[in-house]
Structure 1
Amino acid sequence: MDVSAAITQRRSVKAYDPEHKMTEDEITKLLSLAILSPSAFNIQNWRFVQVSDPALRQEIRKAAWDQAQVTDASLLLVICADLKSWEKDTARYWRNAPQPVQEFMVPAITQYYSGREQVQRDEAMRSCGIAAMAMMLEAQEMGYACCPMDGFDFDAVGKLVHLPEDHVVTMMLAIGKGMKEPWPRGGQLPLQEVIINNRF
């Protein structure tokens, strides 16, 4: 499947076959491609909580308005971000780069993020959104349906997965074998309404 087809065909699916299991190889491939997503300064602040415990899934479902995809999808990821990844052993993000690049980029990370909590959070949301889209498109290519989710109690889910204090939950992502066709597209805004030339 080419990228255009994956984008066109990808829809948010709510109903999944609860008996279907993704293989470990499929899950590993999906996550391995997700971590190739871009992130500012290459800080890779995403953290993917793979929820495989059925009892924990039931608890998360309670915190997600009883949405069935939480328990029925083959794979449930709570996509989180480490808000302080910018200050944790930052040399590792550039360990394969030439020495001059390392010497420039590594100190630049601290200079950019230090004392800027809103920027740290904004970057977390951007990075995790990009990684989630990469996984959704790969899931589509693999023949799976997916559903990005923000319809849940973020604090409750954070407690259930023992979220560290310096992390934030950004969304959940359910992936699996879809059982129903998604609703027709609700209607996309025309390009002329969303594209602004040069200035508003």
Structure 2
Amino acid sequence: MYLPRVIPCLLLDEQRLVKTQKFASPSYVGDPINAVKIFNELEVDELILLDIQASKKNTEPDYEHISEIVSEAFMPVAVGGGIKNIDQAAKLINIGVEKIIVNTGAHKSFQVITDISQRFGSQSAVLAIDIKKTFLAGYKIYDHTTKKTLPIDTLTFIQNGIRSGAGEIFVNFVDNDGLGGGYNYDVITYISQNIEVPLVVCG
């Protein structure tokens, strides 16, 4: 019997836990460590932490704060935001992070995905993409730092990332973010039927 994994996705904005709608207007919803303690009690399968400002500000992950959060978590933790090279990924692995999520850092090159996969195994290398519906071109990969879509086919990008070493794909839907209206099942089905690695969806 198929048993879905329950993976809360926590958005971090300068050590605050926030909620967004369509990737905009972050509003404070609490302390991330308190949230982790609640999810410990609920026995969720995994936890995703995304720093929504690191790539925009071109800063590294906040290792100290992430370490504090990971030390409280009873489940595997995946971290994304501002990760551009293997040294940054290694620092996160060394403080207890199990999966490294690369989004913007993979838009120009999959080298960091390859490096993480070769050093720590493909199970630790997660390629994240944000998908947005466009007026003429259908669903395209969205860059939240430039607020523009990428001129590449979404599935081609994902498959190239997998060939480069990604052992998991994380997809977030910009137009569904924070609205509580459910998933975009058509796109999810299309992607899942064309890849052979785990797919995690959000938004």
Shorter chain as denominator, the TM-score bin is under 0.3
> Could you tell me the TM-score, scaled by structure 1's length?
0.27
> Could you tell me the TM-score, scaled by structure 2's length?
0.26
Which has the larger helix fraction? 1
Which structure is higher in RCO with an 8 Å CA cutoff and minimum separation 6?
A: 1
Which has the larger strand fraction? 2
Query: Greater CA radius of gyration, 1 or 2?
Result: 1
